[in-house]
Structure 1
Amino acid sequence: MNLAAYQRLIVGYHGCDASVAKKAIEKGEALLPSEKDYDWLGSEIYFWEHGPDRALAWAKQRCSQGKLKNPAVVGALIQLGNCFDLLDTRYTGILAPAFEELQKRLKFDGRDLPRNHGGDDLLRRDRDCMLLNWLLPQLEKEAGSQRFQTVRGMFQEGGAAFEGSGIRFKSHIQIAVRDPSCIIGYFRPA
C-alpha cells in the first residue's frame, strides 16, 4: 500500500489535568500517549479535531471520576502527514480483510478476540484498538520505511440531537497522533 502524505493542518484539542496542560504549553513537554486496550484509534496521543468544548467536557468527566484534579485543555496545531484516515474508503476498505486475518492468527495462537462494548455507543473499543495496533505495523512493513503518523476517525456518540434525528449529540472527529513530530506546537485555548 502506498502511504501518501495527507498534507493537511488541523487544530486539535486534548483534555487533561491543568498540570499537564501547563507543562505542555509553557515548557513544551510532550503529551503522553494513551495505551489502554479500548482506545478507539489504537495506542497514541488523542485530540478532538476542532473540538475544544468536547475536550473540556471529557476532562471534567475524568475529574468527576477522581482521575484528574483540575480539568484543562491543550490546543495543538497538527500536520496529519501520513494519515490512516478512517473517513477515506482507501483505508476503511482494508479493515474487513485485515480483521479476518487477525481472527485467524488469534485462533491459531489460542487467544480470544476482544469485543467492543460500552452501551449503544460502544465506548470501549477493545476490538478496534487491537485491529489498528496490529494492522498499522503490518502495513508499514509492506511499505518499507514509511510510517503512519496519525490516525483519524469520525465517531457517532450520544443520544439524538433532537427527536427522530440521525445526528448524535456527541459526534466528533478524533485524531490519534502516532508520531509526536506531527505536533507543530501547543497553545492555550482562549
Structure 2
Amino acid sequence: MYSTKPSFVYGFHGLDREIAIRILNQEDSFRHSNNSYDWLGNGIYFWENNYQRAIQYAQEDSRRANSTIKIPFVLGAVLDLGNCLDLLDQQYIDFLATAFDVLKRYLERENKPLPRNTAFGKADFDFKKRELDCAVIRYAHKLAREEGIYFDSVRAAFIEGEPLYPGSMFRRQNHIQIAIVNPNCIKGIFLPREEVSFPSDDYFS
C-alpha cells in the first residue's frame, strides 16, 4: 500500500569516463549487474545522494588488475524508485526475513547448501562477497512475482568501512545504495557539477 516512493532521488554511478560519455549521448546504456555476490541482487547500482562515494568507488575500482575503469568518472541520475523493496522500511525487512526462511527450507529439501557471505580477501572485513544476501534478495523477488508483485528497485543502507573514531558504530563509508531493476525508473542522466559559493556578492552586484 505504501511501497511506491512519491518523489525522485538523485543517484550517482561510478564508471569509466568513456563509457559515461557514451551513456550520456545515448549511445550506450547502464549495465545490469548480475553477479552472485551483488548484495541487492540484480540491477543497476547507484549511491543515493552521494557523489563522493561514487567517485571514491570508481577510483578504487580503477586500481584493480582487471578493472574496466581507465579514467574514474561519475554520472548522476534522476531516479523514480517506483515499487521499491525498501530495506529501510519495516514491512520489507520482515518480508526479507521470511524470504530467507522459505529459501532455507527449500535448499534443505533439495540437499543444497545455503550460500554464505564471505570476504574477497584478507583486507575485506566488511564481507563484500554477499552471496547469501544476493540469493535471499533474488528469492524475495521470486516470491513477490508469484503474487503478481514486481519490484522496480531495491534500497538499503550499507554499513561499510573502518570505525569513524575509536569505539564508534559509525563507519567511514556508510551509504544508502539503490539497485534499479526496472530501467524505466531512470528518468534522466546528468553530469554532476561542482558546488559554487553562495551567497556571494558576485550574484547581487
Q: TM-score range by the shorter chain?
A: over 0.9
**Displacement of 1:18 after TM fit?**
1.0
Are the equivalent residues in 2 in contact too, given 1:76–1:187 (CA < 8 A)? yes
Q: Give the structure 1 partner of residue 115 of structure 2.
A: 114
**Displacement of 1:111 after TM fit?**
1.7
Are the equivalent residues in 1 in contact too, given 2:99–2:143 (CA < 8 A)? no
**Displacement of 1:24 after TM fit?**
1.2
**Displacement of 1:100 after TM fit?**
1.4
- Note if 1:182 corresponds to 2:185: yes
Tell me, what secondary structure is at the counterpart of 1:93?
helix
Structure 2: which amino acid aligns with 1:77?
V
Are the equivalent residues in 1 in contact too, given 2:160–2:172 (CA < 8 A)? yes
Are the equivalent residues in 2 in contact too, given 1:159–1:168 (CA < 8 A)? yes
Q: Give the structure 2 partner of residue 81 of structure 1.
A: 82
Q: Give the structure 1 partner of residue 153 of structure 2.
A: 150
**Displacement of 1:3 after TM fit?**
7.2
1:151-166 equivalences under 5 Å are 151-166=154-169
**Displacement of 1:28 after TM fit?**
5.9
- Note if 1:132 corresponds to 2:131: no
- 1:106-165 deviation digits (Å, cap 9, x = unpaired): 1222221111112442211110000111111211221x2x41101000011011112222
Q: Give the structure 2 partner of residue 92 of structure 1.
A: 93
CA distance in 1, matches of 2:79, 2:36: 24
Q: Give the structure 2 partner of residue 32 of structure 1.
A: 31
Identity fraction in percent: 37
TM-score w.r.t. length of structure 2: 0.86
4+ aligned runs moved over 4 Å, structure 1: none
Q: Give the structure 2 partner of residue 123 of structure 1.
A: 128
CA distance in 2, matches of 1:138, 1:19: 39
Q: Identify unmatched segments of 5+ residues in structure 1.
A: none
- 1:81-114 deviation digits (Å, cap 9, x = unpaired): 1000000001001222221110111122222111
The RMSD of aligned alpha carbons is 1.5
Are the equivalent residues in 2 in contact too, given 1:28–1:186 (CA < 8 A)? no
CA distance in 1, matches of 2:7, 2:141: 20
Q: Give the structure 2 partner of residue 6 of structure 1.
A: 5
Higher relative contact order (CA 8 A, sep 6+): 1
CA distance in 1, matches of 2:98, 2:37: 21
Q: Give the structure 1 partner of residue 176 of structure 2.
A: 173
Tell me, what secondary structure is at the counterpart of 1:75?
strand
Structure 2: which amino acid aligns with 1:130?
A
